[in-house]
């Protein structure tokens, strides 16, 4: 499929307000995509690679603005692009407003002789771009993007290319639309598509399978060792909620660590993925060694990596983050912070997918697999509130964060924040907020950013809620500086504007109503607790949650 064709069709989808019509339009794009189907099934969602893929474009708005400015010619610079963007908020519209290809006028209406961009070519170029790393990689990325932009012959191509590289097509197509469109295009049941998506996380694979092998092919899509699935998530809840909803409650410690999915294959590599499906294997050699020593069948386990002291007792979450996702000095840090696996679920064992097997049975399988180790969560099924409270008290005494309450009969539903898992934490809630600005430090800290402006997520952006300056030591400040540097958008004297990318966990004493910040709220005594490297801005706390917490206080 030509990229111009894809872009024209994307514009039709964008212009269509009705959901059902949108599904039909997307279905027809999928139907016409031919060999490019797997790519098109992702591009319509603003995704270049499958969600589980290690590959990331890592193009921030800054690089995109530079490439657009360069493609727009000598009279435009990145600041001009930024000014326009500030007005419209749409990188695609801004890109399309320039004559990036230098081929407008007659050229746009005539056959230009076969230099048309193909969807696959765009994908291949972006794949090459994603592989760029190390010094000079930013220039290489801008150069590739510039090259692609100059080959765009229509405004629509420019618009959707710019949006695609920033991961936001803005055509109203989400995962559900592509799921339904796949079913409609290839005449297969939505439920079969949904199941295949749950276990594969790959819209391209599922669309192609639906088209080429129908419902039987979809039913044959299984969990794959080495291909992570989304983590099942929890809601906040109480023992009364749990006992009100189910006959029995399974209660487990809530470990204060980082979520991992362990994929073990006795004949292949053992891999460890984060909650965002990022490969964190190299950062956690102990977990790999543990799996290799104790598992002798193929397995996919869900759990938490915790930092422990010499007695094996849990250390605070911040300690784990010193190890998680670490790329350098892993062996040295291993001496400083010991980490261990605490597994609480089993998605696959010895060739069997267990997603639809009740939790009690999955946990029993997990216990069998890891028999004789300390790595399996303690698991009590009870209908007695006192007994459950006693487990909760023990969990806190043992240094855990609280307890998880789970429906013992529930299936494992990847990616769902359902009511089958409830988390009960006695501590004052913390907030995960996005850094959207900063101020340079003073005195000894004048060389680093010292105060960070925090924002809560809303449906269409971010609203500021406070500033945090306490709780960071020099090493943490320096590390945070490095994390934020690629996202600096603008600087004006003491203050710096930062694109939303980094999430901080902060504690506070109270949430107050306040006109000082755009959210209408302010945090009293905010303090830094951790950089939530395991979360994207989209996972940060919403303003709605801030409002709920504020209400609960009064
Ligand atoms: N026994 C357990 N069962 C399930 N999840 C557990 C358990 N112990 C710790 N956890 C952690 O608790 C989280 C469940 O809460 P939730 O789904 O809301 O994720 P979260 O947003 O990361 O929450 P939090 O910030 O409270 O850890 C899981 O993602 C997991 O990391």
pLDDT of 145-192, one tens digit each? 999 999 999 999 999 999 999 998 999 999 999 999 999 999 999 999
Distance CA 186, CA 39 (A): 16
Hey, which of 304, 376, 422, 537 would you mutate to test ligand 1's pocket, going by the most ligand atoms within 8 Å of its Cβ? 304
Helices vs. strands in the chain: H and E counts, helices first: 20, 19
Q: Where are the domains of the chain?
A: 47-165, 233-424, 431-553
pLDDT band with cut points at 50, 70 and 90 for residue 108: very low
**Range of lowest pLDDT (37-46, 333-342, 507-516):** 507-516
Residues with CB under 6 A from ligand 1: 231, 233-234, 252, 254-255, 259, 304, 344, 377, 404, 423
Q: What is the pLDDT of residue 102?
A: 56
The closest-lying atom of ligand 1 relative to the alpha carbon of residue 417 is 17
Backbone angles phi, psi at 534, to 5 degrees: -85, 0
Looking at ligand 1, which residue's alpha carbon is closest to its atom 2?
A: 254
- Among 21-30, 317-326, 378-387, the range with the most confident prediction by mean pLDDT is 21-30
- To the question of whether residue 423 is assigned a binding role by annotation, the answer is yes
Q: Report how far ligand 1's centroid is from the alpha carbon of 255 (Å).
A: 8
Percentage of residues of the chain with pLDDT beyond 70: 96
State which fold the 233-424 domain adopts. Answer: D-amino Acid Aminotransferase; Chain A, domain 1 (3.30.470)
Hey, which of 399, 423, 533 would you mutate to test ligand 1's pocket, going by the most ligand atoms within 8 Å of its Cβ? 423
The answer to whether the CB of 324 falls within 8 A of the CB of 535 is no
Backbone angles phi, psi at 496, to 5 degrees: -130, 135
pLDDT at residue 200 is higher than 60: yes
Distance CA 186, CA 182 (A): 6
Q: What is the pLDDT of residue 237?
A: 85
Q: What is the pLDDT of residue 518?
A: 96
Q: Report how far ligand 1's centroid is from the alpha carbon of 421 (Å).
A: 9
Q: What is the pLDDT of residue 554?
A: 63
Question: Got the DSSP string for 206-223?
Answer: HHHHHHHHHHHHHHT---
Q: Using alpha carbons, select from 290, 294, 287 the residue that is nearest to residue 330.
A: 287
- To the question of whether residue 146 is assigned a binding role by annotation, the answer is no
Distance CA 437, CA 116 (A): 41
Edge-to-edge strand ranges of the sheet holding 338-349: 271-274, 258-264, 299-308, 338-349, 352-353
Q: What is the pLDDT of residue 402?
A: 87
ipTM here: 0.96
pLDDT at residue 110 is higher than 80: no
Tokens 């915790």 label which residue? Answer: 306
Q: What is the pTM of this model?
A: 0.74
pLDDT digits (tens, 9 = 90+) for 246-288: 999 999 999 999 999 999 999 989 999 999 899 999 999 999 9
Domains 233-424 and 431-553 agree in fold: no
Q: Report how far ligand 1's centroid is from the alpha carbon of 402 (Å).
A: 10
Report the CATH superfamily, name and number, of domain 431-553. Nucleic acid-binding proteins (2.40.50.140)
pLDDT digits (tens, 9 = 90+) for 497-551: 999 999 999 988 779 899 999 999 999 778 888 999 899 999 999 999 999 998 8
Q: What is the pLDDT of residue 505?
A: 94
When the candidates are 3.40.50.11740, 1.10.3260.10, 3.90.550.10, 1.10.579.10, the CATH number that belongs to 47-165 is 1.10.3260.10
Q: Report how far ligand 1's centroid is from the alpha carbon of 234 (Å).
A: 7
pLDDT at residue 428 is higher than 70: no
Q: Is 322 exposed, middle or buried (0-12, 13-18, 19+ CB in 10 A)?
A: middle
List residues with catalytic annotation.
254
- To the question of whether residue 319 is assigned a binding role by annotation, the answer is no
pLDDT digits (tens, 9 = 90+) for 111-158: 444 568 999 999 999 999 998 888 888 899 999 999 999 999 999 999
């Amino acid at each position: 499929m030509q990229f111009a064709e894809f872009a024209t069709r994307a514009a039709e989808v964008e212009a269509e307000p009705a959901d059902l019509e949108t599904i039909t339009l997307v279905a027809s794009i999928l139907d016409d995509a031919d060999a490019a189907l797997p790519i098109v099934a992702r591009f319509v969602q603003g995704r270049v690679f499958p969600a589980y893929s290690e590959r990331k474009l890592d193009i921030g708005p800054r690089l995109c603005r530079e490439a657009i400015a360069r493609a727009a010619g000598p009279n435009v610079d990145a600041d001009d692009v930024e000014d326009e963007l500030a007005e419209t908020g749409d990188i695609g519209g801004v890109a399309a407003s320039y004559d990036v290809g230098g081929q407008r006028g007659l050229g746009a209406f005539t056959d230009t002789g076969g230099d048309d961009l193909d969807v696959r070519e765009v994908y291949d170029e972006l794949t090459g771009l994603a592989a760029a790393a190390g010094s000079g990689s930013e220039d290489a990325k801008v150069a590739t993007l510039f090259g692609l932009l100059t080959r765009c012959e229509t405004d629509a191509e420019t618009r959707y290319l710019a949006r695609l590289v920033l991961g936001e097509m803005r055509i109203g197509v989400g995962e559900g639309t592509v799921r339904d469109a796949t079913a409609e295009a290839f005449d297969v049941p939505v439920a079969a598509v949904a199941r295949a998506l749950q276990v594969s996380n790959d819209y391209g694979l599922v669309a192609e399978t639906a088209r080429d092998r129908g419902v039987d092919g979809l039913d044959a899509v299984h969990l794959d060792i080495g291909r992570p699935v989304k983590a099942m998530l929890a809601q906040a809840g109480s023992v009364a909620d749990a006992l009100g909803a189910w006959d029995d409650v399974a209660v487990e410690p809530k470990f204060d660590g980082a979520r991992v999915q362990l994929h073990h294959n006795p004949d292949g590599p053992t891999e460890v993925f984060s909650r965002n499906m990022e490969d964190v294997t190299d950062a956690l050699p102990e977990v790999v060694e543990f799996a290799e020593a104790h598992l002798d069948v193929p397995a996919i386990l869900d759990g938490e990596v915790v930092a422990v002291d010499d007695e094996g007792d849990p250390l605070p979450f911040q300690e784990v983050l010193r190890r998680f996702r670490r790329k350098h000095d892993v062996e040295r840090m291993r001496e400083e912070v010991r980490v261990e696996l605490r597994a609480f679920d089993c998605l696959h064992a010895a060739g069997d997918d267990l997603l639809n097997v009740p939790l009690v049975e999955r946990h029993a399988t997990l216990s069998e697999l890891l028999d004789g180790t300390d790595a399996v969560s303690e698991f009590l099924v009870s209908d007695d509130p006192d007994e459950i409270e006693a487990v909760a008290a023990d969990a806190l005494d043992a240094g855990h964060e609280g307890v998880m309450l789970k429906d013992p009969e529930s299936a494992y539903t990847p990616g769902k924040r359902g009511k089958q898992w409830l988390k009960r934490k006695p501590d004052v809630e913390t907030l995960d907020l996005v850094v959207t600005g900063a101020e340079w430090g003073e005195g000894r800290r004048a060389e680093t950013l010292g105060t960070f402006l925090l924002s809560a997520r809303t449906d269409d952006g971010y609203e500021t809620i406070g500033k945090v300056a306490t709780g960071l030591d020099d090493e943490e400040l320096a590390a945070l500086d490095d994390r934020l540097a690629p996202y600096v958008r603008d600087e004006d004297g003491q203050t710096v504007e930062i694109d939303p990318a980094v999430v901080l966990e902060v504690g506070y004493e109270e949430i107050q109503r306040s006109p000082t910040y755009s959210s209408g709220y302010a945090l009293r005594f905010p303090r830094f607790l951790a950089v939530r490297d395991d979360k994207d801005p989209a996972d940060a706390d919403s303003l709605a949650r801030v409002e709920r917490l504020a209400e609960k206080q009064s």
